[in-house]
A = this chain, B = another copy of it.
Amino acid sequence: MSDPIVNFLSKYIELTNEEIDILSNQNLIQSYKKGTILLSEGQIAKECYFIMQGCVSSYYLVDGEVKITEFFTESQPITPVSYTTKKPSEYYLECLEDCIISIGTPESSTELMKKLPRLAALGSNIMEDQLAHQRMKYDDFIKLSPEDRYINLQKTSPDLLNRVPQYLIASYLGIKPESLSRVRKRLYKKSKS
């Protein structure tokens, strides 16, 4: 039961051994070196991903500046907007660490859903969860100060803060690296007083 995909799905359904077998045999697993670009701006995404191990960032290049919008880590699915819309991607996906990733294509997904009808029925539940998550993320960005967003990140993804360079964390929070240093100093002082 240590397969990240099985772990992910077990939030929604108790898989039978047969289903686990089908899942494990179906998957196309790939290794990528740190720095690999999985998707570039302008490219149409033909694959979706599920991270078995490692960390992937999504970002825009705006006038040469990197604007991080998400970090994905173990047991997280990545469905590029371009995979859904079939239009050229506006953003990049890049491996921030060496990664092991399970790859999905429209064909392999259709195939898998035929073999695992119980899973197909779950599709909209999983989407619904992801949609709620994405809404909350947007809302947090609107309603929280950068300091509160940092505190949030500490709570929800403490490991990220050690895995990812600070300037990328700053970009994700929508602030300059200098401001992030100030936020961290302020919080450190608070925790000591």
Q: Which of B91, B123, B124, B139 contacts A60 (CB 8 A)?
A: B139
Instruction: Tell me the smallest distance from the CB of A82 to a CB of chain B, in Å.
Output: 9
Are the C-beta atoms of B143 and A67 separated by less than 8 Å? yes
Are the C-beta atoms of A62 and B134 separated by less than 8 Å? no
Which A residues are within 8 Å of any B CB, using their own CB?
60, 62, 67, 69, 79, 81, 84-85, 90-91, 123-124, 126-132, 134-139, 141-143, 174
Chain B residues near A138 (CB-CB < 8 A) = 69, 134, 137-138, 141
- Known contacts: A62-B143, A91-B139. The answer to whether A128 contacts B67 by CB under 8 A is no
Query: What separation, in Å, do the CA atoms of A13 and B112 have in the docked complex?
Result: 23
Query: What separation, in Å, do the CA atoms of A136 and B90 have in the docked complex?
Result: 9
Query: What separation, in Å, do the CA atoms of A7 and B145 have in the docked complex?
Result: 40
Are the C-beta atoms of A84 and B142 separated by less than 8 Å? no
Which residue, of A62, A81, A126, A136, has the highest number of chain B Cβ atoms within 10 A?
A81
Instruction: Tell me the smallest distance from the CB of A69 to a CB of chain B, in Å.
Output: 5
